[in-house]
Structure 1
Amino acid sequence: MGRSRGARLLRGVIGSFAVAALAWATACGTLLAIDDSDPSGGGSSGGTDAKDGADESGDDAATTPDGDPPKETGPSDHKHRVFVTSTTFLGSEVPRDSVCTASVIVGGLPGKFRPWLSQGASGPPLVDYGPWYLVGTDDMVVAKREDLDNPAGLKRAINRTESGTVLDTQVWTGMRADGTPDGYDCDGWSSAGGAQGYTGRSGFSDDRWTHVIVSFCNTPRAIYCFEQPP
């Protein structure tokens, strides 16, 4: 009798533990399921990251369609020109940029040009620039800025006009090949009378390109025109 009662008590205790264990397992399973489906959980975070990645990709595609970084604009490949004018001028007509401007218009050339002429005790106010190419060519380099001060002369003669026509003629300069004035400048390019000015010759590339012979200022001569930065 006593043993039978003890057995029943033992079975009751075991049953209670089993029920409690089952309830605990069920509760844990429910919590795990809730955590997996929680919108604020890890799964949702992964979706947000993917969306952010898609947005960033979209921004990149909008700014660089080919997928490459934006390319910087390089320097201009414009080639600066030099020519001898087809028009001739008296010694009193040359100390102005306009003597080149008129020829530029005739030749249909873009840009700003200045004459190669002495300016009192100094050389022409050319900006350090270059190289300069003959009008009508893409490969005939005449000079870099330092060549204009070279007693030996230029790389090639400035023997083409604003229209690209070959011309060998005398040119007002008042300049030596080393870039210094020689003092013969038609009284500061103001005289068309008996004063004299030094000339060069467009058919030469040695020092005679700018310094070959004096000429009376009432004799019309051509001008060298060098393109300058705007």
Structure 2
Amino acid sequence: MNCNLKKLKSLLVLMLVLAFSISGCASRLTAAGPLVSRLENGKTSVGEVVNYKYSGSVRGNVGFLDKTPMCAKVIEKVRVAKKEPRGFSIILAEIVVFGLGFYDMTRTRAVVEDSKITVPLAKFESSETVLCGEKRPAANEDIVIFVRPAIVGGDKPKSYIRQASTDENGVIDFNKLFPGETRILNLNVWLASDESRAVSFQFKPGL
């Protein structure tokens, strides 16, 4: 019995010695390792206006065309150098066998963060755009309207094109543009300048 107890004590002492001998190995290996650098995207900012986002509404067959400026999203390219975490297999053994690996894991992460060096390189405009101003009337815009009359009684009328312009308040009076029209008209409005689609309206006679 005494012999078994001595063996057990010796085993416990050996385990404790082994635990403390490997404790902190991962953080020390990480600290001794080289810095590894890579290119990353840093902070973003707003560049110049590149186009406009168009929207609209209609009240009583009077259309209101608005536009909101869209700016290029500027991304800063940076070089980030930091230590690579090492020795996670040791940390796992510490946790499973001795339960001491959590401290080593925390220290390893701290070593990585403390070693981090960020060097700004350059800024460039991405293809992505972001809203960068207040919505305002799309004043004096030349527009092209693709007109699709509603189907009535199985008769499918032909679609046609109509050109127009908004006034200084971004307004289009469809009653003046389609005098005497008795059909419902589905209107797709395009900008004459670049043929980009702006917004859709619906004309309802009698409003």
- TM-score surpassing 0.5? no
Structure having the higher Rg: 1
Question: TM-score, normalising length from structure 1?
Answer: 0.25
Question: TM-score, normalising length from structure 2?
Answer: 0.27
Structure with the largest fraction of helix:
1
